Amino acid sequence: MQAEINASLQCVVQGADILGEVPLWCDRTRQLWWVDVRRPAVQSYDPATGAHRAWRLAPEMVTGSIALRESGGLVLATPGGFYGYNPAQPLAPSLIFDPGLGGAGMRLNDGKCDRRGRFWAGSMHDTVREPHGVLYRLDPDHSCHAMLDGFVLPNALCWSPDDKTMYFADTHNQMMWAFDYDLDDGAISNRRVFKDWTHQLGRPDGATVDAEGCVWHTMVATGHLVRLDPKGRVDRVIQLPVTNPTCPAFGGEGLRTLYITSHSQRIAPERLAAEPWAGALLSLDVGVAGLPEPRYQG
């Protein structure tokens, strides 16, 4: 892939996350939210002031993804299921639903809300790379439904601007799929390969969709930010100064800033010394706007 260098790229929070993940922009607080899965912690960044805050979670509350909540605060996707949490209030996370993930070592990973306020999140084993993953849909009435299984490492959940297509990836198997999406029923069908990355060193991680309907996703192991058109063709490749970018999200004024989380885990000390932004929160202008982040309606 021919990669470009983006001159607008900068490090906005040099937080050295062990596993920074799932950034999302809140249009109410005008802040970016994301997690460090390994610490574990929920974090925020205010671009107007540069303020960065972090809220440590209990070890059993390892959080693979978060969603904004219409009633306030966040929803956490954890080994014990889905929890409500508000960093502004000194309360422990409260259980919404525990789907029973199937044994020790299983946890929820990447997740996102559709535009009817359902929170989708996939499960995985934290250390064993076997196809035990299940994709769950948490509805606003707090019911939870298993929608798909048989994958290893769930990532890249996002939807097209017209809500007719859902995207999903298995990072371990280097495969991205597209599904027909029924927004009214929250149903997926017609699974098909969107992008096969098995011929590349990099592995597809988190993803988001821009206002033009193109999918932006990160490639761990190669440091690439890739834009795919709606047919899965590579449109742009940007080389990032970190080996392991994890997930992109549009935010800021007019949703025209692309923020990217990254990780620093399992990087040799000598390589880490040469990669000072590993684990940082990055930002850049890619010349296109994103879409507003939906909220969980429960």
Q: What are the catalytic residues?
A: 205
Structure token pair of residue 11: 């490090």
Q: Which residues in 201-239 are b (16+ Cβ under 10 Å) and which e? A: ebbbbbbbbbeeebbbbbbbebbbbbbbebebeeebbbe
What separation in angstroms does the CA of 10 have from each of 277, 281, 289?
10, 9, 18
- Give residue for tokens 């798909």: 148
Question: In 43-108, which residue ranges form alpha helices assigned H by DSSP?
Answer: none
In the three-class reduction of DSSP (H, G, I as helix; E, B as strand; rest coil), residue 238 is classed as strand
Report the distance separating Cα 209 and Cα 252, nearest Å. 16
Sort residue 279 into left (φ over 0), alpha (ψ -120 to 50) or beta: left
What's the chain's Rg over C-alpha atoms?
17
Question: CB 42: neighbour CB atoms within 10 A?
Answer: 23
C-beta neighbour count of 1 within 10 angstroms: 12
> Which uninterrupted H or E stretch holds 270?
helix 269-273
Instruction: Strand 245-251: give its sheet, edge to edge.
Output: 10-13, 281-284, 257-262, 245-251
